[in-house]
Structure 1
Amino acid sequence: MKRLKSLLIAGLLQVAALSAAHAQSDLERIKSEGVLKIGTEGTYAPFTYHDTSGALVGFDVELGREVAKRMGVKAEFLEGKWDGLIAGLDARRYDAVINQVGITEARKAKYDFSEPYIASRAVLIVRGDNESIKSFADLKGKKSAQSLTSNFGKLAEASGAQLVGTDGFDQSIQLVLNGRADATLNDSLTFLDFKKQKPNANVKVVATEDKASHSGIIVRKGETALVAAINQALEAIKGDGTYSKISLKYFGADVSK
């Protein structure tokens, strides 16, 4: 009887310990562990990609490291394909995703976002010799290479395009270049970086979305303390000129507005 009672008490203590650990906020755990785990693609230049040495670099990567630094912890990046990236938050694989995640009402219903840290517009990209597509309306019935769950993919589909699924910008642009897709809708800043790296690539922009879209750092729903800490870090990064320095390095302009 005594043994049964001891086992029962031990079980209750274990449950209480697990409940306490679960009650601990993400920010408290991050501070305790000294690490901010960040989900990112690693294949989306100039935001998150690998340089010639194999190192993970990019605008979002540098920003993530600075955010972690201002929070008093280290950044640890965990890479994954875009289509499953945000779902990694649900699986608690990481604490935040920094990967040009567009702030949408649908995502805000399930997750929390930091304040916007970058603005961009969608551009319609085709081969340089393509004269049949000159506007978003011309996408109807055409093949558009897209990450299927991205905002760009949804915009292409809304324009009547037949989607050709890809892992990201690099694969999308290659499908356009080799004629396996008629077009791709993608980020204006990414395209500028691509043309800077490959000025002779046979692709061009034929249309630009009027409305700018904003991206933020996305975390699990209800982590208000973590969002506040991230926003404070972003404010400090912009305030001391660090943001401008990173922005100029990758884009040649301030892209926060």
Structure 2
Amino acid sequence: MIALPAFRTLLIAATALGLSFSAGHAADDFDLGPQQPGRLHAARNDAAIAAIPKDFKFVTPGKLTIAVSPGGPPLATYATDAKTVIGADPDYAYAIADSLGLTLEILPVAWIDWPLGLTSGKYDAVISNVGVTEQRKEKFDFSTYRQGLHGFFVKSDSPIASIKEPKDAAGLRVIVSAGTNQERILLRWSDEDVAAGLKPIELQYYDDEAASLIALHSGRADVIVQPHAQLVFIAARDKNIKRVGTLSAGWPDRSDVAIATRKGSGLADALTIATNGLIRDGTYVEILHHWHLTEEALPSSETNPPGLPKY
């Protein structure tokens, strides 16, 4: 997640290095205003509506109450009015509500609080970049709507053109956050490189996103690996980094992001049907394209697919 203190630290450090990291640059690529005139509306999906259990009780009758964590653009953030939640996840929530013939009610929550709030019935579902894991499936149902991707990004003038597999990263200095899934995967990549007679990957750790970007631009590191969506926004904002590859959160398998609902509530199948309807009619990919996240598109939605295993 992108935190406001990190932005402030970044601006101070960037000024010292002569770098331009103004949030205003993102206006050319992302509309962060509260009105959101480009938001798409979806058609009513009778099959999805019919799949809602007759005994399911919405938090507010006639409304779909969705919890969203405004952690940072382009997934979800506060608009320029500092109160309206906008982004790819809210837009997707609006489309799902349209499909179900309901009015959307967005409830901003801290990401760490969504499991308790969902279990206690404060909202009907969570649409907030929640990855499917086997541990979470014990308590929640899931309807997938996006791939969980991490991005490999380098300086715009870097000679590195593509990172798709372990050998492409051999010997590179890669910035990654400690204790993350991407760190776990990159350690496995490095082991594979060494076993193949190649140089290991040198992992670097910094306290925050600001320090990571400064390290990349100062030449102390070659690559930064973070959740893909975060880096897409930074690339659009700063105009000085580029994507050279993506990494599935479930490498070597695909790992998906999903709508979370209460276990056994019966709502997941309706949401899966609604998502597949949005995929078929093109609304889904238009939403992702609008927020520069086309790479994260799924071919179809599934209810409770295999998730990341317990480690």
| Range class of TM-score, shorter chain | 0.5 to 0.7
1:104 is the counterpart of 2:127: no
Alignment-derived partner of residue 79 in structure 1? 108
CA deviation after TM superposition for structure 1 residue 256, in Å: 2.4
1:249 is the counterpart of 2:290: yes
- 5 Å matches for 1:61-76? 61-76=90-105
- Paired residue for 2:247, among 201, 209, 226? 209
**Structure 1 residues 80 and 250, CA, compared in 2 at 3 Å: closer, same or farther?**
same
Alignment-derived partner of residue 169 in structure 1? none
Alignment-derived partner of residue 190 in structure 1? 230
1:220 is the counterpart of 2:262: yes
RMSD over equivalenced CA pairs, Å: 3.7
In 2: Cα distance, 1:80 partner to 1:188 partner: 22
Determine if contact 2:176/2:182 at 8 Å carries over to the other structure: no
In 1: Cα distance, 2:68 partner to 2:291 partner: 17
In 2: Cα distance, 1:178 partner to 1:76 partner: 39
Count of matched residue pairs: 214
**Structure 1 residues 195 and 231, CA, compared in 2 at 3 Å: closer, same or farther?**
same
CA deviation after TM superposition for structure 1 residue 39, in Å: 1.3
Alignment-derived partner of residue 173 in structure 1? 209
Give secondary structure in 1 for the equivalent of 2:288. Answer: helix
Q: Deviations over 1:189-215 (max 9, x none)?
A: 332232112213xx5667742634211
Give secondary structure in 2 for the equivalent of 1:209. Answer: strand
CA deviation after TM superposition for structure 1 residue 103, in Å: 1.3
In 1: Cα distance, 2:138 partner to 2:246 partner: 28
Q: Deviations over 1:109-153 (max 9, x none)?
A: 221001x211142235578899xxx949978xx98447x7xxxx2
CA deviation after TM superposition for structure 1 residue 81, in Å: 2.4
**TM-score between the two structures when normalised by the length of structure 2:** 0.56
**TM-score between the two structures when normalised by the length of structure 1:** 0.66
**Structure 1 residues 137 and 60, CA, compared in 2 at 3 Å: closer, same or farther?**
farther
- Percent of aligned pairs with the same residue? 24
Determine if contact 2:77/2:86 at 8 Å carries over to the other structure: yes
**Structure 1 residues 112 and 164, CA, compared in 2 at 3 Å: closer, same or farther?**
farther
Q: Deviations over 1:139-187 (max 9, x none)?
A: 8xx98447x7xxxx2442575679878xxxxxx53242355xx886422
- Residue type at the aligned position of 2:80: T
CA deviation after TM superposition for structure 1 residue 234, in Å: 1.2
In 2: Cα distance, 1:93 partner to 1:137 partner: 49
Determine if contact 2:150/2:225 at 8 Å carries over to the other structure: yes
Q: Deviations over 1:27-84 (max 9, x none)?
A: 7312861122111111232111123233321111111011112212111112222233
CA deviation after TM superposition for structure 1 residue 249, in Å: 1.0
In 1: Cα distance, 2:120 partner to 2:224 partner: 31
Give secondary structure in 2 for the equivalent of 1:67. Answer: helix
- Residue type at the aligned position of 1:81: A
Determine if contact 2:151/2:243 at 8 Å carries over to the other structure: yes
Alignment-derived partner of residue 27 in structure 2? none
Determine if contact 1:145/1:184 at 8 Å carries over to the other structure: no
Determine if contact 2:127/2:258 at 8 Å carries over to the other structure: yes
Determine if contact 1:120/1:189 at 8 Å carries over to the other structure: no
Give secondary structure in 1 for the equivalent of 2:74. Answer: coil
Give secondary structure in 1 for the equivalent of 2:94. Answer: helix
Alignment-derived partner of residue 22 in structure 1? none
Alignment-derived partner of residue 34 in structure 1? 62
